[in-house]
């Protein structure tokens, strides 16, 4: 039980560090955690970041920084950044059991995280870069089916299909 409370404390501090600092990489984040009394491995930090659905966004100065999904909640509307995906998604192209989604810089990880969480049975996985996302489709799922499911949370994506 003590490990769980230590993990919960580490997660809380990690969230606070991401909110209050412009952190660009895991090495810097590990150093910040260490300064708060948490000696952690890169593997543990990587799992924590995945659990928190942390992604990188452009910092406005030519670099990138970590961001929490919850930081993008729009208080007045109650909508999250997922509602702005059509703005960030430029195109989607299919080839066999693969699909490639092109996004604006910094959007691929966020889009990939949302797709991963919603298409568990349809996808073997996704690989995200900065502005490109590779979807690896399971056998038996068609382009039309994938577009139909993705359209539920990325409206208008069917109009961005590259033929």
Query: Residues 68, 85: one domain?
Result: no
Count of CB atoms situated within 10 Å of the CB of 98: 11
> What gap in Å lies between CA 43 and CA 49, rounded to an integer?
10
> What gap in Å lies between CA 162 and CA 60, rounded to an integer?
29
What pLDDT score was predicted for residue 22? Answer: 86
Q: Measure CA 163 to chain center.
A: 26
Q: Which residues pair with 136 in a beta bridge?
A: 98, 125
Question: Looking at the 3D structure of the chain, how many domains does it have?
Answer: 2
Specify the pairing of strand 89-95 against strand 64-67: unpaired
Name the residue with tokens 């919603």.
118
Query: Residues 65, 105: one domain?
Result: no
| Domain-terminating residue out of 49, 72, 95 | 72
Whether residue 45 contacts residue 25, with contact meaning beta carbons closer than 8 Å, is answered with no
Domain range for 115 is: 81-162
H or E stretch at 135? strand 132-137
Six-digit token pair at 112? 């990939």
pLDDT per position in the chain (163 positions), as tens?
456 688 888 988 999 898 888 888 899 999 999 999 999 998 899 888 888 888 777 776 777 788 876 654 433 334 444 444 556 789 999 999 999 999 888 788 888 888 988 899 999 999 998 899 999 999 999 999 999 999 888 878 888 999 8
Query: Residues 68, 91: one domain?
Result: no
Give the number of C-alpha atoms closer than 13 A to the C-alpha of residue 141, restricted to the C-beta side: 20
Q: Is the pTM of this model over 0.95?
A: no
């Amino acid at each position: 039980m003590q490990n769980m409370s230590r993990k919960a404390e580490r997660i809380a501090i990690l969230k606070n560090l991401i909110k209050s600092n412009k952190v660009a990489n895991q090495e810097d984040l590990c150093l910040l955690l260490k300064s708060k009394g948490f000696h952690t491995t890169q593997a543990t930090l990587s799992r924590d970041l995945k659990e928190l659905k942390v992604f990188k966004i452009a910092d406005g100065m030519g670099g990138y920084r970590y961001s929490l999904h919850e930081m993008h909640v729009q208080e007045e509307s109650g909508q999250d950044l997922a509602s702005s995906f059509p703005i960030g998604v430029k195109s989607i192209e299919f080839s066999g059991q693969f699909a490639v989604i092109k996004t604006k810089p910094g959007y691929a990880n966020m889009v990939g995280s949302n797709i991963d969480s919603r298409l568990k049975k349809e996808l073997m996985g996704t690989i995200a870069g900065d502005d490109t996302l590779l979807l690896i489709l399971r056998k038996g799922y068609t382009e039309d089916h994938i577009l139909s499911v993705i359209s539920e949370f990325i409206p208008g994506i069917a109009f961005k299909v590259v033929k």
